[in-house]
A and B are shown apart, each in its own frame.
Chain A
Amino acid sequence: MIKIENLHKSYPMGDESLHVLKGLNLHIKEGEFVCIMGSSGSGKSTLLNIVGLLDVHDEGKYYLNGQLIENLDEKKAAVLRNKFLGFVFQAFNLITYKNALENVALPLYYKGIGRKERQKIAMDYLDKVGLKDWANHLPSELSGGQKQRVAIARALVTNPKVVLADEPTGALDSSTSHSVMELLKEINKEGMTVFVITHEEDIAAETDRIVRLRDGIIISDEKTKKKVKA
């Protein structure tokens, strides 16, 4: 599903340039539940942004769903994001003046789906994350956990190939964090590829595969034993 070969990325910092990703190789297959771990500055967010087509890489090759990503203009990137990727952010990033249902339905608007159909699909996904009754509430009227559930519903609503979650529990307390992870696990069980970034060990432990990143290099890549337990 996601294949990365010798990926490099630097950011210009004044006259110098900061080399963030130093030749990564990573292969994530369909249906995997992968976690990227690393302290801040390890390059994990940069990696997610490149994988999520929110940023471009300098060197190396990136295949998304078998398609080589190169010379991507914003328009193509937008279409690919809409088609293949669903995002869950640490800060939720819901649109404040839209209610839960409208937030979930927004990717479908950009997909060009009609209004009635949009609302129906969005309601199904809200139901799936257990927030059907909160459909008409604004984000400001929801708790952190509920907001993240709305965000997850929004990430899923276009039925993407991969869900990318950047510190999805970073702004939540531990019990809410756990329930959000449970939700992601469930989604994964239904066959969705889920790609999580975190710096918390216990969150990482709930995934199937942990890739550890330090100073722009992958230092370990191993399966967790959890699956065996389950």
Chain B
Amino acid sequence: MFDLDRWREIFQTLSKNKLRTALSGFTIAFAILLFTLLFGIGNGLKHFFEREFAGDAMNSVYINSGITTKPYKGLQSGRRIQFRNDDTKFINEKFEENIDFFSPNVSRFNVLTIYKGKQNRYTVRGVYPDYQPLESAVIEKGRFISFLDLKKRAKVVAIGRLVEEDLYGNKSALGKNINIEGISYQVVGVFSDPGGDRDERFIYTPFTTAQGMYRENDELDYIGLTYNPKLSVDQALAFTSLLTRVLKEKHSVDPRDQGALRVQNYAEGAKNVQQFIMVLNVIILFIGIGTLIAGVIGISNIMVYIVKERTKELGIRKALGATPNSIVSMIMQESIFVTAIAGYVGLMTGVFVLKGLGKSLEKYFIVNPSVETYVVVGATIVLVIAGTIAGYVPATRAARIKPIVALNDE
């Protein structure tokens, strides 16, 4: 129900008592502003960690080979371990149940790539179609390498977003040819990668094509896989240690040799990061609730003070015929109005400041500091309700005081 007269009365009271209005408004606005800023910065920290560890699938495992450092079974140290296609087959068959995505990899660095006179050097990777989820690559246009490409040893590539930008400018690379070390490939897809610029300057080609092109026989560089996401962290660790042991045995490597075969597992790291983000969430929540409580206490104090200060005025109003209800609803309406407006101002200021800060805080590990709208709106509503309750209690008390007592209040 909109009562213009009531609003006029309220506007007058508020504007004629500027200090009072400013005081309660400021408390609310400041609480919401702090809340927004702290929450936003906390979220920024969270975003940073999420981004830093979002480059690859969280459950990914990379198997690299190196040089033996210990003699074993009559073999000398200093022997280079070379993965071959039979390793691919071996791992795939042995651990089929635990493996989700799987791809061997042949990489060639600094490969001269040309399109219509524009040229640059990129890393070319020969992979299976499964490599896309492994890298968390996102297809922007076209498609990734397919099994058919693999089978046909097709001369096709999926290029990173920045490769397209470098060589094709504003035009689409899709379907165009690209010259990689003198051989022409067709671009079948363009991808982006949350891992950042470096990951967006890769060129992917079918594993079979790359192996045929860059390797003498069935050698390969490393193997990437993701384990079944249903595995717990401990199960994943058990799986990778078994994988390591079996592979070392296959290649006659001392089980204690750390250099010859390295299995990089993100499970432990992922666990740490997730725990860290959880702790961060708790801290953010704690800060948020703390700020809100401070705001609630602030506005409660001010409302008690305001009603106390107005006791006499309320007594006059009652003597002139104001009913207790009209007194209570007048105070409440005032307080809701002030807190809502001030809350909105604080919220907008906070959002604005966070936007302004934007990228400038990235070197302090704060990325995209922002707050979900529902969180701040929720916080504002909490404060409005707190202000209302804080106003309601003394208002009902004031409305209940006999007018004569209120009139004698000095």
Contact = CB atoms under 8 A, between A and B. Distances in A.
A49 B320 contact: no
B325 interface: yes
Interface in B1-24: 4-5, 8-9, 12-13, 16-17
Contact of B321 (A81, A91, A98, A115): A81
B272 interface: no
B316 A79 contact: no
B397 interface: no
B400 interface: yes
Interface in B314-346: 315-326
Contacts of A115: 4-5, 8
A94 B316 CA distance: 8
Interface residues of B, number: 28
A87 B319 contact: yes
B8 A82 contact: no
Contacts of B326: 110
B313 interface: yes
A79 B326 CA distance: 12
A118 to B, nearest CB: 9
A75 B325 contact: yes
A109 B5 contact: yes
B322 A110 contact: yes
A79 B323 contact: yes
B404 interface: yes
B382 interface: no
Interface residues of A, number: 30
A111 B321 contact: yes
B369 interface: no
B5 A95 contact: no
Nearest to A74: B324
A75 B407 contact: no
B42 interface: no
A91 B313 CA distance: 13
B40 interface: no
Interface centre among A55, A107, A109, A114 (most CB of B within 10 A): A109
A143 interface: no
B13 A81 contact: no
B319 A74 contact: no
A93 interface: yes
A89 B407 contact: yes
Contact of A55 (B4, B13, B404): B404
Nearest to B312: A93
A137 B17 CA distance: 17
B402 interface: yes
B9 A109 contact: yes
A78 B322 contact: yes
A54 interface: yes
Contact of A74 (B13, B316, B399): B399
A95 B316 contact: yes
Q: Which of B9, B320, B326, B404 has the most CB of A within 10 A?
A: B320
Given A96-B313, A154-B320, 7 more contacts: A81-B321, A83-B321, A87-B319, A95-B313, A102-B12, A110-B320, A110-B326
The 7 A-B residue pairs with the shortest CB-CB distance in the complex, in nearest-first order: A82-B321, A97-B16, A110-B321, A54-B404, A78-B323, A107-B320, A75-B323
